[in-house]
Amino acid sequence: MCGPETPSSTPRVGARVDFSSSSGTVGNLLFLNPSAPSSSQATHVRFHQPCQANLGPSINTAEQILVSIQFVNPISPFLSPYLYVNNITTRPCSLTGDLTKPISDSGLMQQFTLCRGRGIDGTELFEMPLAKALLLSVGQDGIIGRRVSMISGGELLADGIVGFNFLPAGVSTAL
């Protein structure tokens, strides 16, 4: 997964978005299934903002944050949504998540609102069950590779791309 180092206290399950804005890294959003950590579907979402992160007054005072999962619409409906490289079919990033495009050029996959809370360590924490489970896979209805935006009061606070947040079986973290 791309992004900053993962603190040892952060669960290594499901999928994760590391958010950044013009002021730097602002936190991460985990998509997970607490009752089945190795599930390919996320039933809950959790936003964690480290104490030192600063999203500016908008998020630091917001009681609710709109989270939007998007996909970028193809330039033309006649273009193939797939790339063929060495006989392997892939979906280009421009059809799943592209932070260089304005949100207005993106299609909406799903939205939900997070409400403010505090973790047991005193850090900002937003957590909730999802109305509909999300598929933790690439392409089609999966959220891996999708753009995710945090919005409050109509203002874009931060963006990121969803990535896997676990180590494949058999991979050691020992140095």
pLDDT in tens, the chain (175 residues): 444 455 555 556 889 999 887 777 678 899 999 998 889 999 999 887 766 555 554 455 556 788 888 876 544 444 444 444 444 444 444 444 566 777 777 778 888 888 766 666 666 567 789 999 999 998 888 999 898 988 888 888 888 999 988 755 554 445 4
To which H or E segment does residue 128 belong?
A: strand 124-138
Which positions ≥6 away from 57 have C-beta within 8 Å? none
- Residue 131's DSSP bridge partners are none
What region does 122 belong to: left with phi over 0, alpha with psi -120 to 50, or beta? left
pTM: 0.69
Token digits for 66?
């709109």
**Other residues' Cβ atoms within 10 Å of the Cβ of residue 63:** 10
